Amino acid sequence: MTAQYRQGDVFLMEVGKLPHGATAEASSDKIVLAYGEVTGHSHSVRAEDATMYRDHEDSYLVVEKKANLIHEEHDTIALPAGVYKVVRQREYNPRTVSEFVSD
């Protein structure tokens, strides 16, 4: 079974490798996977521990040795080395879904 990690609305799923054509993103001292919708806090890892890649609309985090996924309101998660697909999870709201359904 592949490793999976969830911290708030960020879900990481280990994948075998990066998709062909994924490109690295430049980063400063930290890689922000997502900002909190209300507080502005961030789900992040130190840039020296990982690299973020994009493939069209998908994001991937490559952890070389080990990285800590941190957030001000959640427990820190230790991520072992690997390639992870980053998925932003949203709360289900049936009203939002119904707005896209036409009569």
Q: Residues 61-88: pLDDT tens digits?
A: 999 989 999 998 889 999 999 999 999 8
Q: Check residues 85 and 97 and name the one with the higher pLDDT.
A: 85
Phi and psi at 8, nearest 5°, equal 60, -125
pLDDT at residue 92 tops 80: no
User: Helix (H) and strand (E) counts for the chain?
Assistant: 1, 8
Q: What is the pTM assigned to this prediction?
A: 0.80
The pLDDT of residue 34 is 86
> What residue segments make up the domains of the chain, in order of their start?
4-99
Instruction: Give the separation between CA 48 and CA 28, rounded to whole angstroms.
Output: 9
Place of tokens 């709201």: 93
Q: Residues 11-34: pLDDT tens digits?
A: 999 998 999 999 999 888 999 998
Phi and psi at 99, nearest 5°, equal -65, -25
The pLDDT of residue 35 is 81
